[in-house]
Chains A and B, each alone.
Chain A
Amino acid sequence: MSTTPRLPSAVPDKPANLGTLFAHQPQTAAAFSHLYGTFWSHGTLDHPSKEAARLRNARITDCGY
């Protein structure tokens, strides 16, 4: 698997990362950010449980991001 982004940044002079790649699709980026922000700031699940799930997901998928 590639360890560097396979697509170029959409933001001039900025390296390719999740944010600058998402800039290729600003409407989708906005929808994702709205959902993701709400997920972390609202809901009935406690924060430690959310973080534990996030870390476990990242470990299983070997996501260094």
Chain B
Amino acid sequence: MSATEAPPNWPNEPLAAILVQTARQAAPGRTAAIVTIRVAQILGADDVLALHDPALRTAVCEWNTHPDISDAERAVLAVTEQFVIDVHGLDDDTFTALQQHYSTTDTMAIMVHLAVSDGFTKRQIMFPTLTFDTQGGQ
């Protein structure tokens, strides 16, 4: 895919930034960061990954076994992977595991952040010259 310039005078940029930041801040703990990193790893968004802590990137990359990833975060990352790769493959067991660790409010926050992160990371790949921070580097 060839990179193209972002359209000039994109009227929704400030509102998009507000949505991204609000969704990120609502996600509990460091779930926003690990979701953003895993989405970027799956989609191959290297410029997004460069914004994040290398140690956390490694932990997320090896999330199934890495000791720095908690059981709750593993549940988040299992949902994240399936959501990005094939959302129709997201089964009840995977989602129930997420709900066992988080309240309904937090689960909703995580899912909204995941959807926003997936969408804006794909957009970042298409239009690398963003005018606002969509990825929340640490």
Contact = CB atoms under 8 A, between A and B. Distances in A.
A49 interface: no
> B-side binding surface: helix, strand, loop or mixed?
helix
Contacts, number: 64
A59 interface: no
B95 A2 contact: yes
Contact of B15 (A6, A21, A25, A34): A34
Contacts of A1: 87-91
Contacts of B112: 22, 25, 28, 32
B19 interface: yes
Contact of B12 (A6, A21, A39): A39
Interface string B5-22: 001010110011011001
A10 B107 CA distance: 13
A24 interface: yes
Interface residues of B, number: 25
B104 interface: yes
A49 to B, nearest CB: 13
Interface string B35-52: 000000000000000000
Contacts of A6: 92, 95, 99
Contacts of A22: 108, 112
A2 B92 contact: yes
B105 interface: yes
Given A28-B22, A31-B23, A39-B12, 16 more contacts: A1-B91, A7-B104, A7-B107, A7-B108, A22-B112, A24-B105, A25-B109, A27-B26, A31-B15, A35-B12, A38-B11, A38-B12, A42-B11, A43-B11, A61-B87, A62-B88
Interface of B: 7, 9, 11-12, 15-16, 18-19, 22-23, 26, 87-92, 95, 99, 104-105, 107-109, 112
